[in-house]
Structure formats: C-alpha cells, structure tokens
Amino acid sequence: MAESVSDAALVERFPWVQIDHDNKHLFRGWLDRRLLIQRCQDCGRFQHPPKPICPACWSSRIEPTPVSGRGVVHLAMFLRQGAPAPGVDYEKGPHPVVTVELEEQPGLRFTSTVVDAPLADIRIGLPVELAWIDRYGAPFPAFRPRAGER
C-alpha cells in the first residue's frame, strides 16, 4: 500500500505535480488506484481540490475518503492544442477534458479526461465511472462512460 511510500518517493513518482502536505493523500491514493477525496469528520462535507481545513465549518478533522468515482459530466471541452503529455497527440484528434460531478455530493467535481469513448459520445450529462490509465509510469484517474448508460 502507498502509505509506506515516503514523501520523497511520492514526489519522485509524480514529477509533474506540485505535491504538498495538503494533497499528498490524493496522490498516495492514485498509487493504489483509489480516488480519495477529503471529507470533513465534523460536518461530513466532501471537498476538492484538497485543502488544510474544511472551508464549510473550519474543522481540521478532514479525512481522505474513498469515493465511488461515479458521476456525470458537468463541463466538457476538447483541446485541439495544449500541454504535452504521454498518450496525448493533438495531431491525431482533440483531447477531451471533462469536469465530472461526483455522485457523493452535489457540486463536488473532479477534472480529468475520458477514455474508451468516441468523441461524439462525450457530452454534458454523460454518466461516467473511473478508468485508471497510466501517465509517466504512475496511475492516473480518468473516466469512461458507464456501461449501458450511454
């Protein structure tokens, strides 16, 4: 389990991310292919991106908590050019970027890409689930359409 991965090793696994003490749990989770979203242990609210406190009730008792990874596409765009990444070739076609509203809480959103779907299927309202892909040799949480719910 990734809990045994040292902070220094974690930074080395994700050289392309600015990891700090507030978001390190998120990326440790990725190494285990688990999407961990912070949840306040006092008021119960989920929050993303990671923060040192719960912005709703200001509690410091926030716990990285596994979420289902299921949700619905809330925002969707298709990059014809953009930052480089392995497996992303803008010459071959637009790269989809979506913000997914997770089913755990209204307004709780996670942004990534969509795999295993024709571009025409990727639209606001599409039900999706997590699909772990590889990026620079580390797991990376993407989404794919939920089977039978297209």
Please provide the DSSP assignment of 31-52 as one string: HTT--EEEEETTT--EESS--S
> Quick one: 2 or 142, whose CB is closer to other proteins?
142
> Quick one: 125 or 137, whose CB is closer to other proteins?
125
> Quick one: 1 or 142, whose CB is closer to other proteins?
142
Q: In one letter, which amino acid is 115?
A: V
Q: Closest distance between other proteins and the C-beta of residue 92, in Å?
A: 13
- Nearest residue to 35 via CA among 110, 100, 85: 110
Q: Closest distance between other proteins and the C-beta of residue 68, in Å?
A: 19
> Quick one: 55 or 66, whose CB is closer to other proteins?
55
What letter does residue 28 receive in the DSSP assignment?
A: H
Radius of gyration, CA atoms only, the chain: 16
SS3 content of the chain, % helix, strand, coil (to 5): 15, 35, 50
Q: Closest distance between other proteins and the C-beta of residue 25, in Å?
A: 17
Write out the residues near other proteins by the rule CB under 8 A. 15-18, 48-49, 55, 74-85, 88, 94-95, 97, 99, 107-113, 124-125
- For the stretch 86-95, contacts whose Cβ atoms lie closer than 8 Å and that sit 24 or more positions apart, written own/partner, are 86/134, 86/135, 86/136, 87/133, 87/134, 87/135, 93/119, 94/119
Residue 11: helix, strand or coil by DSSP?
helix
> Quick one: 4 or 40, whose CB is closer to other proteins?
40
Q: Closest distance between other proteins and the C-beta of residue 15, in Å?
A: 8
Q: Closest distance between other proteins and the C-beta of residue 1, in Å?
A: 25
